[in-house]
Structure 1
Amino acid sequence: MSYLETTANFYRDVAETPETGLCCVQNNPQQLPGLNIPSVMQEMNYGCGTTVQPTELVGSPTVLYIGVGGGLEALQFAYFSRKPEAIIAVEPVAEMREAAQRNLALAAESNDWFDPNYVKIVEGDAFALPVADNSVDIIAQNCLFNIFEPSDLRKALQEAHRVLKPGGRLSMSDPIATRPIPEHLQKDERLRAMCLSGALPYEEYVQHLIDAGFGTVEVRARRPYRLLEAKTYNLDSDLLLESLDTVSSKVPVPADGACVFTGKTAIYRGCQESFDDGDGHILQPGVPASVCDKTAKKLATNFPEDILVTDSTWHYFGGGCC
């Protein structure tokens, strides 16, 4: 049996018997005014963070959600796109599709604004998305892609890039590892299905996004997720997993490398009216300006006396240099 079959069987079980807290970092999902979330949806909150980024959701975008789970984030996306089939939820496990459909019907009973037709649930998987090239505004996946082995992750990211419109965004939440996961845990298919042993280190995870053609990667949140305790998991020392929320844009990768925003800022500490680095970045005295990690490194290297570059906050919400 392959790890993908093990994963499908695992999620058949939790579709029929919800396992509260299976993956999620926090028990309470993101709250939105006028949105009532059925308790069964909260019990089936099998994500590790959130992919629902309100700043990305103006104008009723078309959203492709990969791995519908209990339907919670599909409902949250529908809150911003209130039109028939604005949310396309792709799910390979029949039992999970059925559970999500039931949950969305329950949500309609407690939310006057919501029509279950806003969400179209279809059979499919991340490796062959059942939509046309350049056809959706946003793709989202929560705590799914970390399950994939690297070759399958590349396929899934290439598929996401294919179906996004130019300038479209890929919103993801996945566990990452603070050091490489040992091989004996990577080979444990059930731990992989539980989002505990497939996590990549941060640098490798982001590089996969860049290699798939995403020219901008924004880190929206990074926080502790799970601790793999040394004795339980046969490790030399405890291994911390973190939850990483990112939004990646389908824009060309610049010749000098992708723009990765992790919350760094650059501050001009001189007394002139402004500072121009000659590369399109103009800074005002004493005022922090958001910069990508690439620009931050150039400024710190080329202008160490003029520019203070702050550390990554791992929270970025726009206003950057690129």
Structure 2
Amino acid sequence: MTYLETAAQFYSEVAQTPEVGLCCVQSAPLSLPGLNIPVKMQEMNYGCGTTVHPAELGSQSTVLYVGVGGGLEALQFAYFCRFPGAVIAVDPVVAMREAAISNLEIAATENPWFDAKFVEIRAGDAFNLPVADASVDVVAQNCLFNIFEPEDLTRALREAYRVLKPGGRLQMSDPIATQPIPKHLQQDERLRAMCLSGALTYDEYIQRIIDVGFGQVEIRARRPYRLLNSEIYDLPDHLLLESLDSVSFKLPIPEDGACIFTGKTAIYSGSMAYFDDNNGHILQAGIPTAVCDKTASKLAQVIPEDLIITDSTWYYDGGGCC
């Protein structure tokens, strides 16, 4: 049995018998006025963070959600995109699709604004998305891509890139590893299916996003997710997994490399009213300006004595320069 077959079997089981807290960060789902989330849908919250970022959504956005789970985030996306077929939710597991349809029917009885037609459930998988090229505004996935082997992850990212419109957004939440995960854990198919052994390091994860063509990546959250105990998992030391929420934009990669925003700011501390690097970056004295990591590094080399670069906050939601 391949790791993908193991994952399909595992999620068929937890679709029929929900396993509360399976892999989600222990926090309440996004709370929105007038949004009521059915209990079973909450129990099937098999994500590690959130992919629903309201600032990225418009009333006419079309969202492709990969790996529907219990339908929770499909419902949240529909809250912002209220028209038939606004959310296309894809899943290869029959039992999971059936559970999501049932949960969304319950949601329609508990939410006067929601029509089950807002969400269309389709059979399909991350490697063969059942939509046309450049046809959706947002592709989202929560705690799915991390179970893939690295080359399969690249295949899934390429497929997401294919279906996005120019300027479209790939909104993801996945575990990442603070240290490379040893081979004996990577090869444990059930641990991989449980989102415990397939995670890449931050640098590896971001580089694969860039390699398929995304020109801008913004980190929305980075927080502790799970600890792999050294004794239980036969490790030399405890290994911390983190949850990373990101938004990647289908924009051309600049000649000097992709723009990765992690919450850094640049502050000009010199005696002039402002500093202009003649490359599109103007810093007013004493005022923090959001910059991507690439620009922060370049500015630090130009005026190291009159510049403060703040640490990554691992949260960024717009503004600044690259």
TM-score range, shorter chain: over 0.9
Q: How far, CA to CA, are the matches of 2:248 and 2:118 in structure 1?
A: 25
Query: Secondary structure at the residue paired with 1:200?
Result: coil
Q: What displacement does 1:27 show?
A: 4.0
- Within the alignment, does 1:82 sit opposite 2:82 as a pair? yes
Say whether the 8 Å CA contact 2:59–2:82 is kept in structure 1. Answer: no
- Within the alignment, does 1:175 sit opposite 2:175 as a pair? yes
In the TM superposition, 1:52-201 aligns within 5 A as 52-201=52-201
Query: Secondary structure at the residue paired with 1:101?
Result: helix
Question: Which amino acid is the alignment partner of residue 216 of structure 1?
Answer: Q
Question: Which amino acid is the alignment partner of residue 286 of structure 1?
Answer: G
Say whether the 8 Å CA contact 1:21–1:27 is kept in structure 2. Answer: no
Q: How far, CA to CA, are the matches of 1:80 and 1:87 in structure 2?
A: 10
Q: How far, CA to CA, are the matches of 1:154 and 1:215 in structure 2?
A: 16
Equivalent residue, structure 2, for 1:277:
277
Deviations 1:6-59 (A, max 9, x none): 000000000000000001012411111110000101100000000000100123
Equivalent residue, structure 2, for 1:221:
221
Question: Which amino acid is the alignment partner of residue 280 of structure 2?
Answer: G
In the TM superposition, 1:304-315 aligns within 5 A as 304-315=304-315
Q: How far, CA to CA, are the matches of 1:298 and 1:220 in structure 2?
A: 23
Q: How far, CA to CA, are the matches of 1:116 and 1:160 in structure 2?
A: 25
Q: How far, CA to CA, are the matches of 1:139 and 1:316 in structure 2?
A: 19
Say whether the 8 Å CA contact 1:27–1:42 is kept in structure 2. Answer: no
Q: How far, CA to CA, are the matches of 1:59 and 1:104 in structure 2?
A: 20
Q: What displacement does 1:305 show?
A: 1.2
In the TM superposition, 1:235-314 aligns within 5 A as 235-314=235-314
Say whether the 8 Å CA contact 1:261–1:293 is kept in structure 2. Answer: yes
Deviations 1:155-212 (A, max 9, x none): 0000000000000000000000000000000000000000000000000000000001
Equivalent residue, structure 2, for 1:212:
212
RMSD over aligned CA atoms reads 0.6
Deviations 1:235-287 (A, max 9, x none): 00000000000000000111111000000000011232211011100011110
Please give the TM-score of this superposition, normalised by the length of structure 2. Answer: 0.99
Percent of residue pairs identical:
70
Q: How far, CA to CA, are the matches of 1:19 and 1:214 in structure 2?
A: 35
Q: What displacement does 1:306 show?
A: 1.8
Q: How far, CA to CA, are the matches of 1:273 and 1:181 in structure 2?
A: 49
Question: Which amino acid is the alignment partner of residue 223 of structure 2?
Answer: R
Number of residue pairs aligned between Structure 1 and Structure 2: 322
Q: How far, CA to CA, are the matches of 2:312 and 2:262 in structure 1?
A: 5
Q: How far, CA to CA, are the matches of 1:307 and 1:277 in structure 2?
A: 12
Say whether the 8 Å CA contact 1:11–1:93 is kept in structure 2. Answer: yes
Q: How far, CA to CA, are the matches of 1:136 and 1:93 in structure 2?
A: 22
Please give the TM-score of this superposition, normalised by the length of structure 1. Answer: 0.99
Q: How far, CA to CA, are the matches of 1:132 and 1:108 in structure 2?
A: 28
Q: How far, CA to CA, are the matches of 1:82 and 1:169 in structure 2?
A: 19
Question: Which amino acid is the alignment partner of residue 117 of structure 2?
Answer: N
Say whether the 8 Å CA contact 1:88–1:119 is kept in structure 2. Answer: yes
Q: Which runs of 5+ in 1 are unaligned?
A: none
Equivalent residue, structure 1, for 2:35:
35
Equivalent residue, structure 1, for 2:20:
20
Question: Which amino acid is the alignment partner of residue 143 of structure 1?
Answer: C
